[in-house]
Amino acid sequence: MRGARAARGFTILELMITVAVVGILAAIALPAYHGYLQRAARAEAKAALLENAGFLERNFSESYRYHQDSNGHDLVLPVPSVPRDGGAPMYTITLDSAATGTSTFRIVAAPVAGSAATQDACGSLTLNQLGQKGVSGASRPASECWQR
């Protein structure tokens, strides 16, 4: 039996190198994945703001006011949160109560506490009746947040 080779396993050094490589890959991949989640949620929030603005404009053409329908009832936005697929909300979308004039509106998409969107440098996204796109609580300019 001198010619038969004994089965060998992995050495501790090989296992340590493998763990180190996996750790380095995870350290690179996880921040990139979180950045992707933030950008995807922001893109969906922007789309929801534009859809809600279209809804408000259609209502305005019928009732000549943004915050109430033609019967005088307060409006409920058709897209109140993002994502729309029923997952954990990342942004809540509200009609800003400070802009209560009949001919003005301001819609705000605010990050939900505890979601990945709270770490986004763009903060809350805003849109008004003039189509002006803005941000609040952001460390980036509005033009950069609305382009990416």
Give the per-residue pLDDT at 98.
67
d(Cα 21, Cα 15) in Å, to the nearest integer? 10
What percentage of the chain carries pLDDT values higher than 70?
91
Q: What is the mean pLDDT of the chain?
A: 89
Please report whether residue 5 resides in a domain. Answer: no
Please report whether residue 2 resides in a domain. Answer: no
- Mean pLDDT for the stretch of residues 10-19: 93
Domain total of the chain: 1
Which range, of 68-72, 100-104, 126-130, averages the lowest pLDDT? 100-104
What is the length of the chain? 148
d(Cα 124, Cα 109) in Å, to the nearest integer? 5
DSSP-derived 3-state class of residue 86: coil
Please report whether residue 4 resides in a domain. Answer: no
Please report whether residue 99 resides in a domain. Answer: yes
Please report whether residue 107 resides in a domain. Answer: yes
Please report whether residue 71 resides in a domain. Answer: yes
Q: Which structure tokens are listed for 116?
A: 């990945």
Tens of pLDDT, residue by residue over 30-87, are: 999 988 988 999 999 999 999 999 999 999 999 988 988 889 898 899 999 999 887 8
Most trustworthy range by pLDDT among 18-22, 87-91, 114-118 = 18-22
d(Cα 6, Cα 100) in Å, to the nearest integer? 82
Please report whether residue 21 resides in a domain. Answer: yes
- Mean pLDDT for the stretch of residues 115-144: 90
Please report whether residue 3 resides in a domain. Answer: no
Which string of DSSP letters, residue by residue, matches 32-73? HHHHHHHHHHHHHHHHHHHHHHHHHHHHHHHHS-SSB-TTSP
Q: Which domain holds residue 65?
A: 12-147
Angle in degrees, CA 40, 123, 75, rounded to 5: 85
Q: Which structure tokens are listed for 57?
A: 């404009």
